[in-house]
A = this chain, B = another copy of it.
Amino acid sequence: MIGGGPVAVTLDQVAEAAGVSKSTASRVLSGSSRVSDRTKRAVQSAAERLGYRPNRIASGLRTRRSNLIGLVITNLVNASFHTITGVLQQRLDECGYQVLLCVTDSDPVRERRYLDMLLDHRVDGLIIVGTGENTATVQQVSAAGIPVVNLMRTPDGTPGDSVMAGDRDGAELAVQHLLGLGHRRIAFIGGPPGVDSGRDRYAGFAAALTAAGLEPEPDLCARGPYTVPFGAEAVMRVMAADDRPTALYSANHEATFGALGALVQLGVRVPEQLSLVCHEEAPWFPYWHPPITVVDNGARDLGELAAEQILRRIDSRPDHGEPGPEGVGRLIRVGSRLVVRSSTMPPGRPG
């Protein structure tokens, strides 16, 4: 502690202290080539003694690998996104990669800037929950030889692989469950039609109804942003129908909270008067009263698979081989799972 100032110890110094050349020291510390046990020990102890920490910037310049992966995501608030972010970070770290976090708030301008910045930092991979407004820039990234994985959303014309949630199937699962309980008037509160999940979940909802000989009723369907106020407003709307629904499918946890609040306010009891299923898990749904039936969209799996896919692409490009898209991007779809709790039950007799 007597002067271990801010000047970091370099490999040269370690080499000198160990009485070997820089090259040998490097070989020992990165374990690439064979070195005699004696020198190995000498270098290691010198490194230890001096408190040597390799400079990844220098090493990155030479090896052309930053060990950084850009994560461009629309927000962190949504339950799926922060679960995914956590899982991703952990999995990538296990393989020596770090996450450069970029939150766009769905702003294409910020997204664009982040993409350029990630290019400048020479990230080894890009995982993106995109707005769809910058596919040209994403193309540039891909053309620069950086693997791209699209997460949750695959905009038209985007390069790279995709890891997508099984939105359509999940919504179908939820509605089939409600139909199976005997519900016929099922309301839908869903996301914006312009977003993959909004579109796909509605498609699943409609498909399940159609398969049962029913069809979506416009005044039982509300589509809008994934927000608490929208959920509340939507419930007010669908519950104002002449013939009230007996069940409600709600497409994300924020909207569901809005819905739950509004239902309490309306004095509608769940599940006695209205069955409720939410398409997204949240930590407190199992503990709610009643515990909420959900479609688990596999957020953890999404993170896991996105990490694995980007790592695979990085590995399969050992030393900046071919740049181009090797065939078309691969599409991985994560299965959804219905978790039945107590917020759904057969419809009661109309009052």
Chain A residues in contact with chain B, CB under 8 A? 1, 4-8, 51, 53-58, 60-61, 66, 68, 71, 75-77, 82-83, 85-86, 89-90, 93, 98-103, 114, 116-117, 119-122, 140, 143-145, 228-229, 232, 254, 257-258, 261-262, 264-265, 283-284, 286-289, 320, 323
Contact = CB atoms under 8 A, between A and B. Distances in A.
16 contacts: A5-B323, A6-B143, A6-B145, A7-B320, A8-B122, A8-B144, A57-B60, A57-B66, A61-B61, A68-B100, A100-B101, A228-B284, A229-B287, A258-B287, A261-B284, A261-B287
A102 B82 CA distance: 13
- 8 tightest Cβ-Cβ pairs between the two chains A and B: A6-B145, A264-B289, A6-B323, A257-B284, A76-B82, A101-B101, A261-B289, A265-B289
A86 B75 contact: yes
Contacts of A232: 287
A7 B146 CA distance: 11
A284 B262 contact: no
Give this chain's copy count.
2
Contacts of A4: 143
Contacts of A114: 93
B6 A144 contact: yes
Contacts of A320: 6-7
Contacts of A90: 103
A254 B55 CA distance: 41
Given A76-B82, A144-B8, A323-B6, A257 B287 contact: yes
